[in-house]
Structure 1
């Protein structure tokens, strides 16, 4: 980092921010490389070597060095997610505010791609809870969907909408995370190129955009519901000033989150409302720059009617064929989109129908596959899901070399011992499907997410 200089006025502006230590900050950017951290998938236990825990996240761990994740089959299986440590603080907020896990909640991650915070939230939720992961930018939706597919849960819906499209869904979500688009100064150490894009004008522009996003989504939060707000910016205009604006414009109450002093997190308060915020500075924490806060809504935005009797008439014979592939199939609402069969936890049927009336849905629960006669052509989502009935299907365990061949869609050097559709696994974790034939293997790993690189780093 020594070859890079901070933008003009950046350090001067930062000097007035709570907890800022200029010398420590410069030294952290000059001498320390960005840390590598991962978060383990609680739904897919694995034996991954780590080097110390992220203090504010039970599933977060640091690594000694940055391996080649591309060539780790467990990464593709969804056994873990590569995530910056500071951003895992969101799970600590969620656990702090959610005191009764027996009461189901509907959670929205409004600006969700690439999926780090969505999978983080999902890890803290029960199957009776619903997670809606929305991405505003269409081209970023596939990576969000892929990452949630890898995570393997069935209580997720992915949407591709502008925040204003949620306005009709009044009082719908119990918890909303807005990880707002920002000027990105918190990522300077991780991405030095971001320094060239920073300016005071951009900070002000981001502030205006953040207000617009929050105003649009506010009616969708339930009375007594929680708004979690975060940025990867140090600027008070995008952080504490936004908290003041929220408290001034709406009836919102700041929630103080307990933090351990040893973590190095700086607790701040906004100028007007004295709303609590949490600042992460490299050099003080083992992570990158982050700001996070939590507020509770104290008014009602008016109810909308979400009840729906929509019910597809599904052929009983087809239904029985599909159910055979799902564990505890009666716990799921099964439905069709064109020729594809999908499954979502039964308790989310009404929510799905309500969202479908107002939003553009890209993923609902788990895509099971298509029927061809009496056979199911299974979908990749089913392979990676934790609802699959492994007793009903053939499974083929691969070593690491074979797993890489499979993930590249190359020919797999393996002795064929069965016939038909087989789940291809590595260390017991599903990677995807292949069809075993007497003299060859047809590789059905999705072309768009295969490993393109031929050279391991």
Structure 2
């Protein structure tokens, strides 16, 4: 990459940024390829051939080469997420600030495609609730799919504008705002992003970031934490935003412990001396990132007390059929959306009902399936969930080639004595459902998720 290919004024503006090394930065973009990193799913341990660990994330690993993830059944099973290493630092912040002995509600405000949501989810207990929100409607499905693969029941996916969260004042203990930005931190990984960069766009992003933060601020409870991040190097979108936050609101900057060997540049904002953390590709094995954490000292008000006297009445016989498919069934609250049975960790029942009153919810917990007579027609989410009682269902192990055929939603010819609904597995990990009949196998892998490409 030629230095001249950077946008006009871009490098000149960066020379004043903390920790910036012009020669090293240009060299990293010209001569170093973006590293490939993955983060394993702690709820679905399966990866044994682990490479170099990402220093700030115990579940993160660098790969020597970039494989075809599309043709890895364990990727589709949700055993790992392909995530840029620098962004895994959000998990390090979360692990530092989260309380050890009390349940918390966490909001990932700008969540799609779901990398940081699955990262957060890995750090939470079942008593904790994650609300993953995506503002843009067309990006919600990929967010929901990635959380489905992760497999837990303590998640809710919403599709709301930040201002809508004004309705749930003080509901969240931690809010992550991974804000829309000018994207300069992704220049090496996505050179086309340079065509979108301009000083005017940086200014526009700064204004948008202020609006988003101001809109969602009331939803953070007193003594709660705001994590702010961008994939931009621009001072206006990073340290200047921290100064604005501290001046506009009653927030205290939190210093996050880091190891010098990690290569992360610790900064302080010009006015309020708020701590921030910069990632440069010549100093860390990752792409550009800025992250910071602040603690809210004031009180924006509380939610009115909520009593739901209209609990959904569900058919007891159906409910017993559903519970048979669930591990530790007493741990969950069951409800129906149209004809579909759903389950969420029981301690989140009231939170779900509160959020249903105030927000547009796209997914809650795990979809289990529909009861048709004496049979449960199982949902794909149930197959990928960690709450499924695998002892209650047939399981059919697949070879690699069979697993790829299944993931392409093609016909399978198997030598099996199984009959009826079967969980199709690869290397012990569930991929989805098929119905095995005497003369054929019906593949129920979701059409919208099937592999469409051909292996090189």
For the aligned pair, the TM-score class normalised by the smaller chain equals over 0.9
Q: Please say if 1:8 is aligned against 2:8.
A: yes
**Match of 1:23?**
23
User: Is residue 306–residue 354 contact of structure 1 (8 Å, CA) maintained in 2?
Assistant: no
TM-score (norm 2): 0.99
Q: Deviations over 1:299-352 (max 9, x none)?
A: 011111252324111111111011000011111000001000000000000100
Equivalent residue, structure 2, for 1:108? 107
Separation in structure 2 between the aligned mates of residue 47 and residue 129 of structure 1, nearest angstrom: 26
SS in 2 for 1:423: strand
- 1:195-274 matches, cutoff 5 A: 195-274=194-273
Listed one character per residue, the Cα deviations across residues 399-446 of structure 1 (whole Å, up to 9, x for unaligned) are: 110000000011113213210000000000000000000111000000
Distance in 1, Cα, partners of 2:255 & 2:449: 41
Given that 1:306 and 1:350 are in contact with CA atoms closer than 8 Å, whether structure 2 keeps it comes out as no
Q: Measure, in 2, the Cα distance between the counterparts of 1:259 and 1:424.
A: 43
Q: Is the 8 A contact 1:434 1:443 kept in 2?
A: yes
Structure 1 CA distance, aligned partners of 2:3 and 2:49? Answer: 33
| Cα offset, 1:268, TM superposition | 0.2
- In the TM superposition, 1:269-348 aligns within 5 A as 269-309=268-308, 310-348=310-348
The count of residues paired between Structure 1 and Structure 2 equals 455
2:192 aligned residue: 193
Distance in 2, matches of 1:417 and 1:289, equals: 53
Q: Distance in 2 between matches of 1:254 and 1:357?
A: 33
Cα RMSD of the aligned pairs, angstroms, is 0.9
In the TM superposition, residue 271 of structure 1 has moved relative to its aligned partner by: 0.6
User: What SS does structure 1 have at the residue aligned with 2:284?
Assistant: coil
How far apart, in 2, do the equivalents of 1:231 and 1:178 lie? 9
Query: C-alpha separation between the residues in 1 aligned to 2:346 and 2:87?
Result: 31
Rounded to whole Å, the distance in 2 between the matches of 1:447 and 1:215 is 40
Aligned-pair CA distance for 1:227: 0.1
Runs of at least 4 residues off by over 4 Å: none
SS at the partner of 2:442? strand
Conserved in 2, the CA contact under 8 Å of 1:308 and 1:354?
no
**Residue 125 of structure 2 corresponds to residue 129 of structure 1:** no
Q: 2:24 aligns to what SS in structure 1?
A: helix
Structure 1 unmatched ranges of 5 or more: none
Cα offset for 1:51? Answer: 2.3
Contact residue 50 and residue 64 of structure 1 kept, 8 A = no
In the superposition, the TM-score normalised over structure 1's length comes to 0.99
| Aligned CA distance change for structure 1 residues 18 and 3 (closer, same or farther; 3 Å) | closer
Gaps of 5+ in 2: none
